[in-house]
Amino acid sequence: METNKPSTTELAVLGLIAFGPTSGYDLSRTAARSIGHMWAPSRSQIYKVLPRLVAAGYARSREVEQRKRPDKAEYRITPAGRRALREWIAEVDPEPREGAGVFLLKVFLGWNGSPAAVLAQLEAYRRLLEQRLAEWEQTDAGLAVDEPPHSRIALRHGIARARATLAWADEAERALSPPRARRAS
């Protein structure tokens, strides 16, 4: 990570560290409860990432003594880590290699970035969804009459989900837009 850009998993873990000092074990539990439905790093991934974050200067570690338990390492984000997180949240990839869950991850961690950056993530996600929805609707319209119903059922699930997610994006944009911008729309 010292010479390369941090990976999505590294940035997701860094984003969780940004909530406050935490251990690897606690990060694993927090990830499962918060970002697990959009990005699910395993406990072993988290433990592999933590030393890389420290080596890159994005996090600091200190040993915490515990009674009746082994000592644990506690991690804190550094100013360099906050900058890296802000830059990542501001970087819009119209079609992330890692999948659309990256948009949601950046929205979830958006409090670390600017409001405009989070709105830009929502807009990029919306464009991707609209593109996929149009493709799926075109496929649906072109299905043969004698097509097995299973194909159409699966395709319509994708269509319904895309439409619902677009409605969610509208709601999210209204919630995140400044009051003046909301009144104008």
The answer on pLDDT for 3 being more than 70 is no
Which of 35, 70, 102 is the endpoint of a domain? 102
> Is 108 part of a structural domain of the chain?
no
Q: What angle do CA 83, 103, 55 make, to 5 degrees?
A: 35
Residue 69 and residue 137 in one domain: no
SS3 74: strand
> Is 1 part of a structural domain of the chain?
no
The answer on pLDDT for 124 being more than 60 is yes
Task: Convert the pLDDT of each residue in 15-42 to its tens digit.
Answer: 999 999 999 888 888 888 888 888 888 8
Residue 84 and residue 19 in one domain: yes
- Is the full-model pTM beyond 0.75? yes
Residue 98 and residue 132 in one domain: no
Which of 102, 124, 147 is the endpoint of a domain? 102
Please give the residue that has the higher pLDDT: either 66 or 60.
Answer: 60
Q: What single letter denotes the amino acid at residue 126? A: R
Strand-strand pairing, 22-23 and 72-77: antiparallel
Average pLDDT, the chain: 90
Residue 91 and residue 63 in one domain: yes
Q: For position 19, what pLDDT does the model report?
A: 94
Place of tokens 């550094």: 78
DSSP H helices in 42-148? 43-55, 79-90, 101-108, 115-142
Least-confidence region, from 39-48, 64-73, 165-174: 64-73
> Is 71 part of a structural domain of the chain?
yes
| Domain that includes residue 19, residue range | 8-102
Residue 176 and residue 120 in one domain: yes
Q: For position 65, what pLDDT does the model report?
A: 79
